[in-house]
Amino acid sequence: MILVLGGAGYIGSHAVKMLIERGESVIVVDNLETGHAAAVHPNAKFYNVDIRNEEELDEVFMENRIESVIHFSANSLVGESVSEPIKYFDNNVFGAINLLKIMRKYEVKKIVFSSTAAVYGEPKQVPILETSETVPTSPYGASKLMMEQIFKWADLAHGIKFVSLRYFNVAGADASGEIGEAHGVETHLIPLVLQVPLGQREFITVFGTDYPTKDGTCIRDYVHVTDLIEAHIKALEYLRLDHNSEIFNLGSGDGFSVMEIIEVARKVTGHPIPVKLSERRPGDPSVLIASSEKAHKLLNWTPQKNSVETIIGDAWKWHNAHPNGYKSNKGAE
Ligand code: UDP
Q: Higher model confidence: residue 237 or residue 282?
A: 237
Nearest CA to ligand 1 atom 21: 188
Q: What digits encode the pLDDT tens for the residues 96-113?
A: 999 999 999 999 999 999
Mutate to test the pocket of ligand 1, among 186, 188, 276 (most ligand atoms within 8 A of CB): 188
Nearest CA to ligand 1 atom 19: 188
Contact 221, 292 (CB under 8 A): no
- Whole-number pLDDT of residue 330: 36
pLDDT level of residue 283 (50, 70, 90 thresholds): confident
CA–CA gap between residue 167 and residue 229 (Å, rounded) = 11
The ligand 1 atom nearest the CA atom of 206: 7
Contact 27, 60 (CB under 8 A): yes
Q: Which of 10, 120, 140, 238 is catalytic?
A: 140
Mutate to test the pocket of ligand 1, among 128, 260, 281 (most ligand atoms within 8 A of CB): 281
- Whole-number pLDDT of residue 328: 52
With a 6 Å cutoff on the Cβ, whether 207 touches ligand 1 is: yes
Ligand 1 centre from 64 Cα, in Å? 40
Q: Which of 166, 173, 164 is nearest to 39 (CA)?
A: 173
Nearest CA to ligand 1 atom 18: 188
- Whole-number pLDDT of residue 184: 83
H or E element: which one contains 170?
A: strand 169-171
Does the pLDDT of residue 215 top 90, yes or no? Answer: yes
CA–CA gap between residue 175 and residue 180 (Å, rounded) = 9
3-state secondary structure 97-113: HHHHHHHHHCCCCEEEE
140 in active site: yes
CA–CA gap between residue 151 and residue 147 (Å, rounded) = 6
Q: What digits encode the pLDDT tens for the residues 164-182?
A: 999 999 999 999 999 999 9
Does the pLDDT of residue 332 top 60, yes or no? Answer: no
- Whole-number pLDDT of residue 183: 87
Please provide the distance, in angstroms rounded to a whole number, between the alpha carbons at the two ends of the chain: 36
Ligand 1 centre from 26 Cα, in Å? 33
Does the pLDDT of residue 331 top 70, yes or no? Answer: no
